[in-house]
Amino acid sequence: MKQLSLDNLRTFVSVIELGGYAKAGELLGRSQPAISLQIKKLEEQTGRKLFTKVGQRHLPSPDGNWLYPKAKEMLAMNDAIFRSLNPAPLSGRLRLGIPNEFASTLLPGLIGEFSKRYPDVSLEVTSALSRDLLAPARRNSFDLILALVNPKQQTDGQRVIEDDMVWVGDPSHSLVGDNISLVLAPDGCMYRSRVIEQLKQQTRAWKIAYTNADLSGLVAAIQEGLGITALARSSMPSQLTVLQHPYLPRLGTVDICLFNQDTQHPVVSKTLADFIRSRLTG
């Protein structure tokens, strides 16, 4: 059975697209006589005249025009097979925006594992409140954003999980007294808003004893006995515990979403998004 040479087909396609043997030779790194010989072999294999010379240009004959799209399909399939079997290493710079609490809990292990697997990717991470990461004036500064969203809020992000918002504290301290002492992030934090909203519906007294935008600062204050806080269950540090007390109202749930921005490195961005998704749901 006859078999077409893919190398000859690639030369044939290059001659058509570049309009001549010389330019095809420059692209493929071959001399003009070598290009001419490949086309001649292909014409012998097919039994058809594939080009007509007009001046200095080689224009495809009717048979050449018939073969051209089929040759492109064969080359595309060949190239796709090799790309799948031998994927190019990921490289590029990726700007990730992530909430403060996940920067302390999710990020350390994730960065280490991702960097080992894709050492040519430069990861630039910014941690801030979800509201600030998604602000229109700042959002385009990132390629990928992980953010907290209220369950009823319309969003263009992809929900990774719906997580419980829970009360957390240090079990070595008296957790809930007559006056509930709170350790919270600043205004604009979803946890702070949800906590205050729910406590205002209770009769139990409460106060904000300490404010800090950084989770490590909140954890330190909690371990010193300054109060309790609220977090998404998946972002809770290991040194704290979930609190259940009749004085503490239920806080509901929160959506943890990924926002893929327009980026120069869509494959890298998708790979990191899949990485984060597997860590949150695994």
pLDDT (tens digit per residue) in 56-65? 778 889 998 9
Mean pLDDT, residues 43-69 taken together: 87
pTM higher than the cut 0.75: no
Residue with tokens 């977090």: 231
Predicted local confidence at residue 242, as pLDDT: 92
Q: Which of 195, 237, 204 is nearest to 218 (CA)?
A: 237
Q: 165-199 pLDDT, tens per residue?
A: 999 999 887 666 678 899 999 998 999 999 999 99
Predicted local confidence at residue 166, as pLDDT: 95
Mean pLDDT, residues 94-103 taken together: 87
Residue with tokens 């224009």: 59
Mean pLDDT, residues 90-100 taken together: 84
Q: Are 36 and 28 in contact (CB under 8 A)?
A: no
3-state SS record for 105-126: HCHHHHHHHHHHHCCCEEEEEE
Predicted local confidence at residue 149, as pLDDT: 92
Q: Are 114 and 272 in contact (CB under 8 A)?
A: yes
Predicted local confidence at residue 53, as pLDDT: 81
Residue 195 CA to residue 190 CA, distance in Å, equals: 9
Predicted local confidence at residue 196, as pLDDT: 93
> Could you tell me the pLDDT band of residue 270, with boundaries at 50, 70 and 90?
confident
Residue 173 CA to residue 209 CA, distance in Å, equals: 15
Q: 6-18 pLDDT, tens per residue?
A: 889 888 988 888 7
Domains of the chain: 6-85 (1.10.10.10), 92-282 (3.40.190.290)
145, pLDDT greater than 70: yes
88, pLDDT greater than 70: no
206, pLDDT greater than 80: yes
Q: Are 148 and 102 in contact (CB under 8 A)?
A: no
66, pLDDT greater than 90: yes
Predicted local confidence at residue 93, as pLDDT: 81
Mean pLDDT for the chain overall = 86
